[in-house]
Structure 1
């Protein structure tokens, strides 16, 4: 098994695959950098290694900003990955694998920390999107067709990565096992008896483009609605999406028949607490609208306030217009949209958004999401928004049984096995946690899973050659709330959900 790529090499490989796939190089690199930062975030000193690998001056602020922006990539494909998958691109498997390699490389940044292994496992699984059988999920991406060999490659690399991390945690020497990768034109050590420590120039092999695969047929409305129906819970949400699909289908048929039809507003408001599946449903809505012929591409572009608002008045309008342009032909999903209200910077973004929605009304759908009460106030205070968002869908919190099912789906997606004892322990945690508007629902159980994967790695740290079953099986004890941070003293782990991206990301609303 080859050693994991360094982060800089993994990012370069991602950009190379992006060029072949027609993805903008800057976009691909930024996705990779944010993905790496969010995985390495728990590791002490990770920002130093991340800054070096990304060619930046040492900056904890930039690292934390990237980690905040990339946090959603631990549970769902990046925008570029989502678009490649949705359009059935033959380059989607290669791009997914390149993102998984970035995730694995990020697990080595900073001091060894078992939680980074958990982050890497779930993030890589989310990007690869491999599902051997259709499974109900929430914060995982929609089921995609299996990619032969890709899931096996990830599992093998993950096993190798786990072994390396376990040995590091046990303070074993890995220097003799590391095989450095050499960039083109670099000086590499040569092993010649008469030239100990000598160097020679090694020409790196150019990346081979992936073999062309036949483009799969886009999914039909029926297939996408079936995926919606497989999601855990969300009974009322499913009924409303089915109703909307039926209305829009008939509207299209009437138009084809030459009949007049009232213009139906397609923009939506998703009300709900964190982790209730709003992003997942938005992604399916994008695909359904594309299958109905209402959108030309059907991609989902997910943003928050920090990606719409700039540091100076006047810049925000340009920044918002650029984001809307990237979503044209698909769905623009604005999370915690109410955060745009209350100041002149957010108002500028709203004004620009309303204008762009009107200019691009034939090939753009906007979905705004957030907590129910703030969203109601936000919409009612702006006539331009109120007239364009007539459909509101409420996402209820999940029951304990539904969250246990979601945990099992997430574990299976990351290729871990859980039994009834693990789910019983999860229910104990759910019974003890305080519920309310800040409860993270599926986001909470994802955090529990990531911490459990980290404890699983710590539990196997002294097992030199763990079996495949040992590498896959989580125990109930792995869900305990104490996660060691290193060989010294353990630290307490707080299972409350991580804050949403928009609560962490600096908005830089005031001029420097």
Structure 2
């Protein structure tokens, strides 16, 4: 190897680049082992002085040689057809009145589209909807399906669902709410804007500003936007009635009834099956007993109640198997009755006792406390 070969020099040493420092006048030790691995050079993305004569050209890396546009992008999922979306709607547990109303809406809008193509006059049909019902009754799920159904009918260009509440529409200062609300509506253009607990927009000037902006945007984007407002039945009636602009645009109200006990059990079983868990008969009876003892007021979670119980059961199941090194597949899948119920404290008092130490000394009688310190009583004097 010639001592003029600069490839083995320190890249930062003087003389490595033209005009910087000087080239050493003595050749390096030529008795190195020939098995030494070659120096690997990583090309720099910054511009710099050219390499000296005789230096090996840098080998470009794969990232530098492959343009960003050549990276294959993930193919979008194929859009579902109208029949597929309606079948998905019909497969939901319960919601019989909701399904019937959605099918009626589809029939009306489909015929309306055919009349328009045929050059016939058509009545003005509002596509915006009001969903009323208690929490956990499937309002968001149905709203997402409505977006896909309207897209399949050609009424929307995208069909996406944008879910918001008051906090995402109202700003901290008057005048900014209109801008914030308009930006949210713009993100939902081509799809469905779903406002949960929409009645919270009533009662103050900030909410009124948001509602006024929504009414204007609904008119400006009436050909490519669907607005669905949802909440408890009675507050939603008051909310729609207090604004003439809303009342004229929301003519269809769909009521989501609470799930029955059998429907909640079906939701519990279906959710468990999708997660690869088995529910023996005794476990199902345990769920039914807990459900029967749970009050069903306005805050009852409905389907959310069933899903929360299942999530708690999964946690208790994992804790039950904590000391089994290699549980069987049956043990990994099966949820027992003791797994279903309120979440226990993983460590009981007996297990925590060694960590807590001895119990604290009992406190003095509060009657003998003055400013947090025990009061010493002088027995030498009689009190009258």
TM-score (norm 1): 0.53
Question: Residues 485, 380 of structure 1: CA spacing in aligned structure 2 closer, same or farther, 3 A cutoff?
Answer: farther
Q: Counterpart of 1:483 in 2: which secondary structure?
A: coil
Shift of 1:460: 1.2
> Which of 237, 245, 251 does residue 376 from structure 1 map onto?
237
For residues 280-307 of structure 1, the C-alpha deviation after alignment (integer angstroms, 9 at most, x for no partner) is 1111100000000000000001111111
Q: Counterpart of 2:344 in 1: which secondary structure?
A: strand
Per residue, is there more helix in 1 or in 2? 1
Number of equivalences: 286
Deviates more, 1:261-270 or 1:408-417: 408-417
Kept in 2: contact 1:451–1:483 (CA 8 A): no
For residues 31-82 of structure 1, the C-alpha deviation after alignment (integer angstroms, 9 at most, x for no partner) is xxxxxxxxxxxxxxxxxxxxxxxxxxxxxxxxxxxxxxxxxxxxxxxxxxxx
Shift of 1:211: 6.3
Query: Is the counterpart of residue 287 in structure 1 residue 143 in structure 2?
Result: no
Question: Which residue does the alignment assign to 2:129?
Answer: 268
- Cα separation, 2, equivalents of 1:340 and 1:480: 37
> Which of 139, 159, 173 does residue 278 from structure 1 map onto?
139
Query: Is the counterpart of residue 236 in structure 1 residue 114 in structure 2?
Result: no
Query: Is the counterpart of residue 312 in structure 1 residue 312 in structure 2?
Result: no
Shift of 1:315: 1.8
Superposition pairs of residues 350-499 of structure 1, within 5 angstroms? 350-485=211-346
Q: Counterpart of 1:377 in 2: which secondary structure?
A: helix
For residues 235-281 of structure 1, the C-alpha deviation after alignment (integer angstroms, 9 at most, x for no partner) is 11100000000000000001111111112100000010001111111
- Cα separation, 1, equivalents of 2:90 and 2:350: 46
Question: Residues 401, 440 of structure 1: CA spacing in aligned structure 2 closer, same or farther, 3 A cutoff?
Answer: same
- Cα separation, 2, equivalents of 1:383 and 1:359: 17
Question: Which residue does the alignment assign to 1:332?
Answer: 193
Kept in 1: contact 2:159–2:192 (CA 8 A): yes
Kept in 1: contact 2:312–2:343 (CA 8 A): no
For residues 427-466 of structure 1, the C-alpha deviation after alignment (integer angstroms, 9 at most, x for no partner) is 1011001112111100111111111111111111112222
Superposition pairs of residues 143-292 of structure 1, within 5 angstroms? 216-292=77-153
Question: Residues 213, 458 of structure 1: CA spacing in aligned structure 2 closer, same or farther, 3 A cutoff?
Answer: same
- Cα separation, 2, equivalents of 1:212 and 1:358: 37
Shift of 1:333: 0.5
Q: Counterpart of 1:484 in 2: which secondary structure?
A: coil
- Cα separation, 1, equivalents of 2:89 and 2:190: 21
Question: Residues 480, 321 of structure 1: CA spacing in aligned structure 2 closer, same or farther, 3 A cutoff?
Answer: same
Question: Which residue does the alignment assign to 1:107?
Answer: none
Q: Which has the larger Rg?
A: 2
TM-score (norm 2): 0.71
Shift of 1:217: 3.8
- Cα separation, 1, equivalents of 2:296 and 2:350: 31
- Cα separation, 1, equivalents of 2:202 and 2:73: 47
- Cα separation, 1, equivalents of 2:182 and 2:281: 50
Instruction: Please report the RMSD computed on the Cα atoms of aligned residues, expressed in angstroms.
Output: 2.3
- Cα separation, 2, equivalents of 1:377 and 1:243: 26
Shift of 1:472: 2.2
Question: Residues 486, 361 of structure 1: CA spacing in aligned structure 2 closer, same or farther, 3 A cutoff?
Answer: farther
- Cα separation, 1, equivalents of 2:335 and 2:216: 51
Deviates more, 1:481-490 or 1:255-264: 481-490
For residues 451-488 of structure 1, the C-alpha deviation after alignment (integer angstroms, 9 at most, x for no partner) is 11111111111122223332222111111224225576
Kept in 1: contact 2:290–2:341 (CA 8 A): no
Shift of 1:400: 0.5
Shift of 1:401: 0.4
Q: Counterpart of 1:333 in 2: which secondary structure?
A: strand
Kept in 1: contact 2:151–2:159 (CA 8 A): yes
Question: Looking at both structures, which has the greater relative contact order when contacts are Cα pairs under 8 Å and sequence separation is at least 6?
Answer: 1
Structure 2 runs not aligned, ≥5 long: 1-62, 352-384
Structure 1 runs not aligned, ≥5 long: 1-204, 491-512
